[in-house]
Structure 1
Amino acid sequence: MKKTPANDSIPVFKLYGGDHEWLTPDLLHCERIADRSKLHAWEIKPHRHSDLLQIFYIQTGEACIQLDDSQHTLTPPVLLLVAEMCVHGFNFSSDTEGYVLTLASPLVNQLHTRLGAQQCLLKESAYYAVAHEQGYFDHLFEQINQEYRAHLPGRELLLDALVGNIIVSTSRIAIKTATPAKTQQDKGLEHYSQFSQLLEQQYKSHLSIEAYAEQLNITGAHLNALCRRIAKQSALQIIHERLLLEAKRNLIYTAMTISEISNELGFSEPAYFTRFFKRHCDISPKNFRQKSGTTTVKKP
């Protein structure tokens, strides 16, 4: 068994900001396993995501996977859920076919709330044999892949429905059988995960770092240190990026005015929101909307 590299040497990939920023504020990303794996000789080195859940649907081939400090060989067809902050790496055979569906934490938290008794599904890394449901999952993932790239009217609504279908279907399989990856999180990862959940619930309130830390029963300095260790960013940067994500989504996908978006996101004045957005994105909200190809519908 290979040993997991030391925590500080494991890359942390994020949805928001930096070199890993997605081109649009979509809350999901879909691609074929082969598209990325071929570029790396079918080997993905150990890494983890600070604000993402990944669902791998492996249809053919073979995959040797590392999940934290354990290794597994998966025989298709199989669904693999990789939870937030789980260290994972892959060696795929060259005939591997399938999809990778990546969900951002805001979408994961929405699904988590709606799952009820099955909430643990999205918090634990596990894999599920789906031989009896292969045709069904083939169809679902192909639909998502096509819709993700089509950019047709109603795209976001249909993608949400398809993802919800996959999660519910997986949860029903998990009730019958699951092979969880037994992992141990250090207290810092638990606090970081709790901070992410609190941020998702309260980011529009513009709370201070100390206010979040108090809810976690730690100091603001400790929370900031955790964020820098785990996500390679300060707590304030993470808070700002969550606000910016929602601002971009509203600018692209809604007809809300700049003033309405400012109010929706808890800013006291539209001018303050505009300065905030421009300071972090080097472009005004109005110009961002125009550049994205969307226009505001004027209200009577």
Structure 2
Amino acid sequence: MAMTSLSEVRAQVSRSFAAAPHRLAYHQIMLVRSGTGDFTIDSTRYPCRVGSLLWIRPNQVIQFAPATNMEAHLVMFTETFPLRLRAHMGMLDDVLRPCHWQLRDDELAAFGRVLALMQEEFERPDQGLGEDILKHLLAVTLMHIDQMCRSQRKDQREADTPTGENGELFLRFRRELESSYRTTRLVEDYAAALNCTPRTLSRACRIVAGTSTKDLIDARVALEAKRLLVHTDLPVGTIARQLGFTEVTNFGKFFVRRVNMTPGTFRRGDDSQN
């Protein structure tokens, strides 16, 4: 785990690299403390100001606006570092969860105190328990985000911390989806892998996420397609094959249905608006 500031990161990389789309191999939590600027995550642009909180997960494609006066606290950690506490596992593991919040004044003050405590411990010389203390403080930080997310989305059907049999099945499905979306888009295949019926899986997805199993599968495939179109120079045909499409025309139809434009138009255009 590491803690730093946005200005320190900018000082270590070139302006052109900072402005170009790139992927992170680790989690990064960013809390804006001054200034304004735009930050793009997986082709969605988020205008940021004081109190903006962003959670970038491994393999998400990010990009800064070319010019910004924004300053922010950064917390970076690998997938294996956090304590495996149930309360925040959905937020940690699910790439389709929310990744941007605008904190209220009371939320910003409370979250700032947690970050300050973690920063103090991070800078303190390790006397043998430093890593364990940081793991617990990070768990508190992630649970704060989980709680704020649920508070801001309480009027929606999605449960940010799914519980019960449906919640357990949903989390297992999301993990299976993350490992298998490149090879299959069939609901039946996921149900078989999870040792349940398609109807049971569909019920869990409807209860927890408010949408169908098929929609979640297709959303994940479309997300990866957009990432590859933005972050790589791979031909569209190669991207189609990597995502399990045997015909590039079928991939094109799928992409238009999900994104409302062709892959070529998406790659050429201002994809941060989509």
Q: Which TM-score applies when normalising by structure 2?
A: 0.50
The percent of aligned pairs where both chains have the same amino acid is: 25
| CA offset digits 1:93-115 (Å, max 9, x no partner) | xxxx86623245866xx943xx1
Residue 225 and residue 170 in structure 1: after superposition, are their counterparts in 2 closer, same or farther (change >3 A)?
farther
| CA offset digits 1:53-79 (Å, max 9, x no partner) | xxxxxxxxxxxxxxxxxxxxxxxxxxx
Matched, 1:251 2:240: no
Which residue number corresponds to residue 187 of structure 1?
A: 165
Which residue number corresponds to residue 217 of structure 2?
A: 239
Which residue identity does 1:131 align to in structure 2? Answer: L
Distance 1:178 1:275 in 2: 42
1:269 is displaced (CA, Å) by 1.2
Asked whether the equivalents of residues 32 and 52 of structure 2 are also in contact (C-alpha less than 8 Å), the reply is: yes
Q: How does 1:212-227 map to 2 (within 5 A)?
A: 212-227=190-205
Distance 1:228 1:177 in 2: 31
Residue 173 and residue 225 in structure 1: after superposition, are their counterparts in 2 closer, same or farther (change >3 A)?
same
| CA offset digits 1:178-212 (Å, max 9, x no partner) | 6697x993121111011000000000011421221
Matched, 1:173 2:134: yes
Distance 2:209 2:236 in 1: 30
Asked whether the equivalents of residues 22 and 231 of structure 2 are also in contact (C-alpha less than 8 Å), the reply is: no
Greater RCO structure (CA 8 Å; 6+ sep): 2
Which residue identity does 2:119 align to in structure 1? Answer: E
1:266 is displaced (CA, Å) by 1.3
1:135 is displaced (CA, Å) by 8.9
Q: How does 1:107-146 map to 2 (within 5 A)?
A: 111-112=78-79, 115=80, 118=81, 120-121=83-84, 123-125=86-88, 131=117, 133-134=119-120
Matched, 1:203 2:181: yes
Structure 1's unaligned 5+ residue stretches are 1-23, 36-96, 138-168, 295-300
Residue 220 and residue 184 in structure 1: after superposition, are their counterparts in 2 closer, same or farther (change >3 A)?
closer
Candidates 252, 255, 271, aligned match of 1:277: 255
1:276 is displaced (CA, Å) by 0.8
Asked whether the equivalents of residues 213 and 219 of structure 1 are also in contact (C-alpha less than 8 Å), the reply is: yes
Distance 2:163 2:243 in 1: 33
Asked whether the equivalents of residues 191 and 197 of structure 2 are also in contact (C-alpha less than 8 Å), the reply is: yes
1:270 is displaced (CA, Å) by 1.0
Q: Bigger CA drift: 213-222 or 171-180?
A: 171-180
Which residue identity does 1:246 align to in structure 2? Answer: E
Matched, 1:290 2:251: no
Distance 1:209 1:201 in 2: 14
Which residue number corresponds to residue 32 of structure 2?
A: 32
Residue 120 and residue 132 in structure 1: after superposition, are their counterparts in 2 closer, same or farther (change >3 A)?
closer
Which residue number corresponds to residue 55 of structure 2?
A: 102
Which residue identity does 2:226 align to in structure 1? Answer: K
Residue 281 and residue 177 in structure 1: after superposition, are their counterparts in 2 closer, same or farther (change >3 A)?
closer
Q: Count the aligned residue pairs.
A: 172
Asked whether the equivalents of residues 252 and 263 of structure 2 are also in contact (C-alpha less than 8 Å), the reply is: yes
Q: CA RMSD in A?
A: 4.2
1:263 is displaced (CA, Å) by 1.2
Which residue number corresponds to residue 230 of structure 1?
A: 208
Secondary structure class of the residue paired with 2:269: helix
Distance 1:32 1:256 in 2: 34
1:272 is displaced (CA, Å) by 1.1
Structure 2's unaligned 5+ residue stretches are 1-20, 36-49, 61-76, 90-110, 124-129, 144-160
Residue 111 and residue 214 in structure 1: after superposition, are their counterparts in 2 closer, same or farther (change >3 A)?
farther
1:258 is displaced (CA, Å) by 0.6
Which residue identity does 2:32 align to in structure 1? Answer: R
1:222 is displaced (CA, Å) by 1.0
Q: How does 1:144-163 map to 2 (within 5 A)?
A: none
| CA offset digits 1:146-198 (Å, max 9, x no partner) | xxxxxxxxxxxxxxxxxxxxxxx9776126996697x9931211110110000
